[in-house]
Amino acid sequence: MRLIHGAASDVGLVRTQNEDSYLVGPGVFAVCDGMGGALAGEVASETACRHLMQLHPETDSADKLVDAVRRANAEIFARSLGEPALAGMGTTLTAAMRQGDTLVFAHVGDSRAYLLRAGRLQQLTEDHSLVAELVRQGRITPQEAAVHPHRSVITRALGTEQEVPPDLVSVPLQVGDRIVICSDGVSGLVPDEQIGQVLAAVPDPEAAARSLVAEAIARGGDDNATAVVVFVVDNDDQTVEPAQDMCFGPQRRDERLSAGGYRGAAVRAAEAVRGRLRRLRSRRVWARRARPPRKVMGAVVVVAILLIAVVGFAVFNSSVYHVGTSGDAVVLYRGLPLTVLGVRLFTPVEQANVPYSHLKPYERERVDSHELRTQEEGRQFLRSLESAS
């Protein structure tokens, strides 16, 4: 059997830096998701990949893989303590090394490895994360974990302690197996079902890696997204001619390892994806700008409500009447007996033929009460005052 591979990585739509690193080469595959301020996360994830690059897959035993992880941890931990700019840095590591017809995985953190075999997707690694622990304890469901506010909190990371033992998983390979190693920027956004569908549908690992990263971007791209994909094919299977160079990413030209062959087709393809994603991103920015900002929407709603209130009040005010005085005249007014900011809300409609000074005390009281009436009631009240005098 033969292993063919592809990789893609993108900074995503929210982060300003890509702190993920990956490694793909004959017999060694890894994704490391760095964390820490400024450049520290990148340093941590790259350091881990550099140690893995020193492996000799076919001749090294699984112990050598564990050794490489241990050395990576020691270096990251020492630099994190010794260099203030790198304080607190760390990285996840999910690595696979080929041993004959078996892949040996070493795993720390919440990056993931999946195996698609016979149409079924299986997660090979267990997340070292707070939410995964809560799920294992039965305190939350996997569905709750997927949207949990602390889902990015990891419980084990390289570089955070003196000794960080990796989980080890051995997977005997079968022709047709498809494997993906990805950072949580992919697995946290793309549902397992869809990861399985992409792996099953695409013709080659390069396209699969690109599709998975593009899918993560399309679903919000809130984290660096990295995918390394490996297909297990027959020795004489010539249907796919994949990238086989060793390569190390993400693709920062100045940081690329200088030994020959690292800049493989995978890098070129990944760069093409980055261009496409950048265009996708600029479309998204435009779409976001085209939508009115929330504050403006809020102001529009408030103005609309005020307008409705004012119109409603005006309609009500023009439907009520009251009787009052103007000098010595008794007048039927339309509107409430109110003056707001110097503006009278009432207008005269009709004047009684009898002056206020001629009214009896109880009649004056009724006029002074400014009782609200209909127009008809107001007119009748004026007539009753006139006939009584």
Residues that bind Mg ion (CB under 5 A): 33, 183-185, 223
Cβ nearer to Mg ion, comparing 185 with 250: 185
Contact predicate 32/47, CB 8 Å: no
Query: Cβ closer to Mg ion: 160 or 183?
Result: 183
Closer CB to Mg ion, 149 or 172, in the complex: 149
Query: Cα(216)–Cα(361) distance, rounded to whole angstroms?
Result: 84
In the complex, minimum distance from the CB of residue 173 to Mg ion, in angstroms, rounded to a whole number = 27
Contact 336, 320 (CB under 8 A): yes
The SS3 call for residue 338 is coil
How near is the Cβ of 174 to Mg ion at its closest, in Å?
30
CB of 114 to Mg ion, least distance (A): 16
Contact between 204 and 3 under an 8 Å Cβ cutoff? The reply is: no
Q: Please, which residue, 9 or 183, has the CB nearer to Mg ion?
A: 183
The nearest distance, CB 18 to Mg ion, in angstroms, is 10
Non-local CB neighbours of 145 within 8 Å, separated by 6+ positions: 131, 132, 134, 135, 151
Report the nearest approach of Mg ion to the CB of residue 34 (Å): 8
Closest by CA to 109, choosing from 81, 96, 90, is: 90
User: Which C-beta is closer to Mg ion: that of 127 or that of 184?
Assistant: 184
- Mapped onto helix, strand or coil, the DSSP state of residue 140 is coil
Q: Which is nearer to Mg ion, 188 or 242 (CB)?
A: 188
The smaller minimum CB distance to Mg ion, of residues 65 and 225, is found at 225
Q: How far is the CB of 28 from Mg ion (least distance, A)?
A: 21
CB of 183 to Mg ion, least distance (A): 5
Instruction: Round to whole Å and give the CA distance between 367 and 263.
Output: 97
Going by C-alpha positions, the residue among 94, 90, 33, 24 that lies closest to residue 53 is: 24
Least Cα distance to 110 among 88, 85, 133 occurs for 133
DSSP calls for 172-213: E--TT-EEEEE-HHHHTTS-HHHHHHHHHH-SSHHHHHHHHH
What are the backbone dihedrals phi and psi of residue 383, each rounded to the nearest 5 degrees, phi first?
-65, -40
- Please say which residue, 154 or 202, places its beta carbon nearer to Mg ion: 154
Distance of CA 215 to the CA centre of its chain: 13
- Other CB atoms within 10 A of residue 337 CB: 16
DSSP class of residue 256 equals S
Phi, psi of 236 (to 5 degrees): -95, 15
- Determine contact, residues 23/106, Cβ cutoff 8 Å: no
- Least distance to Mg ion, CB of residue 184, Å: 4
Give whichever of 171 and 214 is closer to Mg ion, judged by the CB atom: 214
Shortest distance, position 153 Cβ to Mg ion, whole Å = 12
